[in-house]
Amino acid sequence: MTTEQYAIPGLKNVLYIDLTSRSYYIKDRRDLYEKYLGGVGVATNLMLEEYIEGTGPLDPEMPIILSTGPLSGVYPTCTKTVALFRSPHNGELGESYAGGRLAMSMRYSGYETIVIKGASQYPVYVAIHDDKVIFRDASSIWHLSSAIDVGKVLRDVEPGAGRRSIIRIGPAGEKGITYASVNVDTYRHFGRLGLGTVFGAKKLKALLIVGNQEIKSPDHNAYRKTYSKLYDTIVKTGLTEKYHNLGTSENILVLNELKGLPTRNLQGTSFEGAETISGELFAEKYLIRRVSCAGCPIGCVHVAMLRRPFSKAHEYETLNISYDYELIYALGSNLGVADPEAVLELIDACEKAGVDIISMGGVLAWATEMQQRGKISTVETMGLQFSWGDKAAYLRAIDLVVQGPNDFYAALGKGVGYASKKYGGEEFAVQLGGLEIPGYHTGLGNMLGLTVGFRHSHLDNAGYAADQAAFNRPLSDEKIVEAIIEEEDRRSVLNCMVACLFARNVYTYPNIIEALKSLGIEKTEEELKELGRDIFRKKYELKKKFGFKFEELTMPKRFFETTSTTGKLEEDRVKRAIELYRKKRGV
Amino acid sequence: MLYKKKTHTSLKEELEWEIMAKRLKVANPARCIGCYSCMMACARTWYDTISLKNSRINIQTRGGIETPYAAIVCHACIDPPCMRACPLGALTKRKGGGVNLNKEICDGCGNCIEACIVGAIHLDAEKKAVICKHCGVCTKFCPHDVLEMIEVEDSGEIKVTDTSPVEDTSPVSSTASHKELYGRKEPEEEK
Ligand code: SF4
Ligand code: SF4
Ligand code: SF4
Ligand code: SF4
């Protein structure tokens, strides 16, 4: 049976949206897809094309690029969309990945990549219904107190119920908090580095996409076969079991045991309350359902139910909150919060505000230590007395950071790097490359990985995994550097697809080659590896243009005071490893 | 549950299963994770393109992912209203409930869509009705025990096949069944 003549070949279009003039056009960019496949490869090259020297992160001319890849909407777990922008948080390359339904909607709408430029004079949202792109006034949903509610409103006004993707910002993005996130379909996010802030500056409240086209593969039988093979590998081999069962929060007890779980602003690496905020406990007591990104059989999104009383007369409200390892670290161990319900409430407050939870956790942890050391007082905090584990103070603080009623909270809204320059405490402002760190203090690999990584993320190169290897058997620093380089290039290729990194061991080079072949794309392993290296060079070119300099990197003392999984780190050793990395990479 | 799930204990049983009247059943809708694996499977099996829209089963949310997923698919009516509504006779009774569609005859009038209050029918790009065949392919791609093929009478009536005593079915551990599905076997334990 066939409806072939109605199908699109795929990987052809880039949709350009100009918010200033509220107009759009579509360009045939097969040239880009042929060379760089899609995802981060295409987005990096588009950013190099679009970036006008000297443009600031929040200037209208600065583009947002969203891109999917050849396997998006086609093969299981290829569910991510990459966003490229210039980060208002650290001024550097902004790169973030989100799942949900976005990739599938973009792919089936025939716009595999979207470039958003300009800025509207008043709040707008953009609705894409296959070939129609509509701009609508969003003033009535600007100022909504919750990013979640934005979805509720748009679901009612826009047609296409059932499988739309709705990405939107909350108050933090409107207010210019530099680490505002973009909420994707309620439970997923473009979390890090402030894409939400860029949306806010463009007065773009939301983007809704409905795609309902068919894609044509040149060899449908090969496609069917490869799909079944990949599906079986994901579901039946145990490669992704961890993400399905307890989810990433399984790592709380693991990292606690390994002394790699940042605790109380990285004053420690194990937390006496780890048991009560463990993935095991959340699963047993609060987990009510798992959901998946569209096109992924793993079901890694863990949703907890919190029943919260709001009066003494047995009145309750029920909150559904998705949780993950990083969130539990950021608002749990790193704030000394051992009460799981408090962790859930803090997550919920950040979700509504639309902020990156890792950065918010880092900011609150730093502020707590500042106050405990007497470097700030209740004057700056507007009466709040921060103490580890005090949920009520932290809940209030999240609101205050988002609203920014005084200089101190306004500074907290720009991250620990900025705030510590103003108020002191740089030695324990736990950031690398201007970004509050994810939940690992495992040793050299992690610290090096976060420092040299494109976006200072553990997902750039999994430095913690190199430490894990070094923990189990002796590994020279050079080998750690090499592991990081290899992983970076491999991940760049995965990010062209754009595959979920939880399935990274399913999408091996041979499997990627087979999957591409069934779509009529011929690539060799060597060509893919070269693509990875090419992306590295181009991203560093971009980073340089955005002002990144190795010489300006600072490494707060805290990293060298607190023992990591693989022992205490010395600054010199990290510096030598960075030099080695630069030499090997030629940057 | 009064019907037996598909089992593969012997070749004889397997062959018997093959010739029995069967139908698709959304057995455990609350377990759906919204992965769309079933839709992808249906669409790629019965069409030569990659899409969700040609799937005969439709996984939907009504209020975003915060709300439960609904699986909308043919209920295998014993006396199908869609068939009665078709002015051209393109739909005929299927053994085991539901209908068989003769695509050649269907002209896309949409009367069946109106008659099916379940909402299980839509038209494809060539204006032909898209109706579940109860082939069972989607059940093989559901990772979360939502979809099943069940044995029914030729008429489509539910067959009571399982009259064995009710045994203690509490799982060894709360995640045992998933561990097995996702590959990692639980160590054997005494119950
Ligand atoms: S398509 Fe609808 S009306 Fe027809 S048999 Fe199925 S459920 Fe009944
Ligand atoms: S759409 Fe086709 S099957 Fe449905 S009633 Fe019309 S002719 Fe019959
Ligand atoms: S039983 Fe067959 S025709 Fe029906 S929804 Fe499943 S795969 Fe499609
Ligand atoms: S395959 Fe199963 S879990 Fe996935 S969407 Fe379909 S019914 Fe739901």
Question: A570 and A514, same structural domain?
Answer: yes
Contacts of A290 in chain B (CB under 8 A): 33
Coil/strand/helix, residue A25: strand
pLDDT digits (tens, 9 = 90+) for A192-229: 999 999 999 999 999 999 999 999 999 999 999 999 99
Q: Is the pLDDT of residue B173 over 60?
A: no
Question: A451 and A386, same structural domain?
Answer: no
Contacts for A450 with CB less than 8 Å, ≥ 6 apart: A432, A433, A435, A437, A438, A456, A457, A458, A460, A463
Q: What is the CATH number of the domain that holds A246?
A: 1.10.569.10
Report the C-alpha gap between A557 and B100 in whole angstroms: 73
Q: Is the pLDDT of residue A13 over 70?
A: yes
What pLDDT is attached to residue B9? 63
Question: A528 and A477, same structural domain?
Answer: yes
pLDDT digits (tens, 9 = 90+) for A439-470: 999 999 999 999 999 999 999 999 999 999 99
Domains and CATH numbers, chain B: 11-163 (3.30.70.20)
Coil/strand/helix, residue A182: strand
Q: Is the pLDDT of residue B185 over 90?
A: no
Q: How does B116-148 read in b/e, with b if 16+ C-beta sit within 10 Å? A: beeebbbebbeebbbbbbbeebbbebbbbebbb
Predicted ipTM? 0.92
Report the C-alpha gap between A95 and A194 in whole angstroms: 9
Q: Closest partner residue to A240 among B30, B48, B182, by Cβ?
A: B182
Place of tokens 């995994």: A465
Domain boundary residue, one of A371, A404, A435 = A435
| Probe target for ligand 1 pocket from B26, B72, B75, with the most ligand atoms within 8 Å of CB | B75
User: If you average pLDDT over every residue of chain A, what do you get?
Assistant: 95
Q: Is the pLDDT of residue A145 over 70?
A: yes
- Residue B24 Cβ inside 6 Å of ligand 4? The answer reads no
> Are B49 and A76 inside 8 Å of each other by CB?
no
What pLDDT is attached to residue B186? 46
Interface test with A, best of B31, B42, B48 (most A CBs within 10 A): B48
Evaluate whether A193 touches A438 at the Cβ level (below 8 Å).
Answer: no
Choice among A73-82, A159-168, A317-326 with the minimum mean pLDDT: A159-168
Structure tokens at A408: 């101190």
Count CB neighbours of A58 within 10 A.
18
pLDDT digits (tens, 9 = 90+) for A239-248: 888 888 999 9
Domain boundary residue, one of A367, A401, A435 = A435
pLDDT band at A161 (very low <50, low <70, confident <90, very high): confident
Coil/strand/helix, residue A244: helix
Instruction: Pick the atom of ligand 1 nearest to B98's CA.
Output: 5
**Closest Cα to residue A342, out of A270, A398, A401, A390?**
A390
Give the residue from chain B lying closest to A230, CA to CA.
B141
Paired residues of A97 in beta bridges: A82
> Are A284 and B53 inside 8 Å of each other by CB?
no
In a domain, A34, yes or no: no
Report the C-alpha gap between B58 and A306 in whole angstroms: 30
Report the C-alpha gap between A107 and B36 in whole angstroms: 15
Q: What is the CATH number of the domain that holds A578?
A: 1.10.599.10
- Mean pLDDT, residues A344-359: 98
pLDDT digits (tens, 9 = 90+) for A378-428: 999 999 999 999 999 999 999 999 999 999 999 999 999 999 999 999 999
pLDDT band at A356 (very low <50, low <70, confident <90, very high): very high
In a domain, A456, yes or no: yes
- Mean pLDDT, residues B89-110: 97
In a domain, A187, yes or no: no
pLDDT band at A136 (very low <50, low <70, confident <90, very high): very high
The residue type found at A533 is R
In a domain, A381, yes or no: yes
What pLDDT is attached to residue B189? 43
Question: A454 and A556, same structural domain?
Answer: yes
What pLDDT is attached to residue A290? 93
pLDDT band at B95 (very low <50, low <70, confident <90, very high): very high
Q: For residue A164, give the DSSP letter.
A: -
pLDDT band at B13 (very low <50, low <70, confident <90, very high): confident
Question: A467 and A429, same structural domain?
Answer: no
Strand B129-130, strand B147-151: pairing: unpaired
pLDDT digits (tens, 9 = 90+) for A258-268: 999 999 999 99
In a domain, A204, yes or no: no
- Mean pLDDT, residues A505-517: 96
What pLDDT is attached to residue B22? 94
pLDDT digits (tens, 9 = 90+) for A315-342: 999 999 999 999 999 999 999 999 999 9
What's the domain count of chain A? 2
**Ligand 4 centroid, distance to A506 Cα (angstroms):** 21
Question: A458 and A403, same structural domain?
Answer: no
Question: A419 and A379, same structural domain?
Answer: yes
What pLDDT is attached to residue A280? 97
- Residue B41 Cβ inside 6 Å of ligand 4? The answer reads no
Percent pLDDT > 70 in chain A is 100
The model's pTM is 0.93
Coil/strand/helix, residue A435: strand
pLDDT band at A32 (very low <50, low <70, confident <90, very high): very high
Question: A562 and A520, same structural domain?
Answer: yes
3-state SS, A531-577, equals: HHHHHHHHHHHHHHHCCCCHHHCCCCCHHHHCCECCECCCHHHHHHH
Q: Is the pLDDT of residue B26 over 60?
A: yes
Q: Residue A446 is part of which domain span?
A: 441-585
B133 Cβ under 8 Å from any chain A Cβ: no
Pocket of ligand 2 (CB under 6 A): B 85-86, 88, 90-91, 101, 106-112, 129
